[in-house]
Amino acid sequence: MLASKRVMSRDAAHALDLDSRIKLEEQITDAKASKIPVPSIPDNWTFTDYSEEYPWRSYEFNFLGPLAGKSIVDIGCGYHPTPIYFALAGAERVCACDVSPKAVQFMRRVANIYGVADRVTVYESPVERMPFASGEFDLMHGEAVLHHISLPPAAPEIRRVLKPGGRAVFKDPLGHNAVLEFIRDHMPGVTGKSAAKGTDRPMTIEDVEGFGKLFASSEYRTFGLTSMAAMLLRLPRWSMARRAMHSFDNAVISNVPAVKRYAQYVVACVTA
């Protein structure tokens, strides 16, 4: 029998107070620091290519629109260089925040390496109490963040820091697929995640819809059915087989609404 890789049960983690949740997630994220290489961004890199690498990413950035001249905040950035990509794509001001001191240090170092430190500022902060003024940002991005935080206090804070009409996108795992949930908790390496599991609690469609009601407008789409097999098969990101899987998934999810809740990911898009 495969043992769970969770530090504590999902219900126990969900019941933690904010400071305890922050401490747990900080410990787990800090522990990854020594294994994270500085990203290699080729000279011919373009944000368009990056956006089109996955269908969920195209959906996200089509919703956000052009970044040039915009202010954007990346919440729960971790070690992923998305804030650097935003700056390279022409965003005028980029902020990022995470509860992990080592992730914050890493992101600052990467910003220096790629010459965008003058436009990328990184803060050690939870989403529930961000150090920003009200109406400070045009745009917000969060990848695999909402399912780690407490939505009741976080949603008003997200809305607060966005300008009126500001847009935000969030990509998170969905939790309706029992087989996928077993793999996430007992075989996380299959999905490319670290072994330690802390405050994460994959979203439900009801979570997403309830979150969206707190904003002026919202929409969402789910992604990943047959394309989940691409991870197991280690298919290249741009392979024809992977693309065919994504196209098939899109057709099924679009035409059979009942299937959407069993997908791998959900992307929620909101307007303040």
Look at residue 2 and tell me whether its pLDDT is greater than 80: no
Residue-averaged pLDDT of the chain: 92
pLDDT in the model for residue 66: 96
Residues 6+ apart with CB under 8 A from 3: 186
β strands within 110-192, DSSP E: 120-124, 137-143, 162-173
pLDDT in the model for residue 181: 84
Residues 6+ apart with CB under 8 A from 96: 73, 74, 75, 77, 82, 83, 107, 120, 121, 122, 123
Q: Residue type for 229, please?
A: A
Look at residue 106 and tell me whether its pLDDT is greater than 90: yes
Handedness of CA 171, 190, 150, 86 (dihedral sign): negative
Q: Which tokens sit at 267?
A: 């992307």
Q: Which tokens sit at 132?
A: 């920003």
Give the pTM.
Answer: 0.93
Q: Which residue has the higher pLDDT, 96 or 199?
A: 96
Over range 144-162, report the average pLDDT: 94
Q: Would you say 39 and 109 are in contact if contact means Cβ atoms under 8 Å apart? A: no
pLDDT tens digits, residue range 12-63? 887 889 999 999 999 999 999 999 999 999 999 999 999 999 999 999 999 9
Distance, CA of 179 to CA of 181 (rounded, Å): 5
Distance, CA of 184 to CA of 90 (rounded, Å): 36
Distance, CA of 12 to CA of 164 (rounded, Å): 36
Angle at which helices 18-30 and 101-113 pack, to 10 degrees? 50
Question: C-alpha 146: how far from its chain's center?
Answer: 8
The H-assigned helical ranges of 31-115 are 47-51, 55-64, 82-88, 101-113
The H-assigned helical ranges of 44-171 are 47-51, 55-64, 82-88, 101-113, 151-161
pLDDT in the model for residue 1: 53
Look at residue 263 and tell me whether its pLDDT is greater than 70: yes
Distance, CA of 102 to CA of 164 (rounded, Å): 33
Question: C-alpha 21: how far from its chain's center?
Answer: 18
Taking every pair of C-alpha atoms in the chain, what is the biggest distance, in angstroms?
Answer: 53
Cα–Cα distance list, 66 to 7, 47, 87, 91, 216 (Å): 40, 10, 12, 9, 21
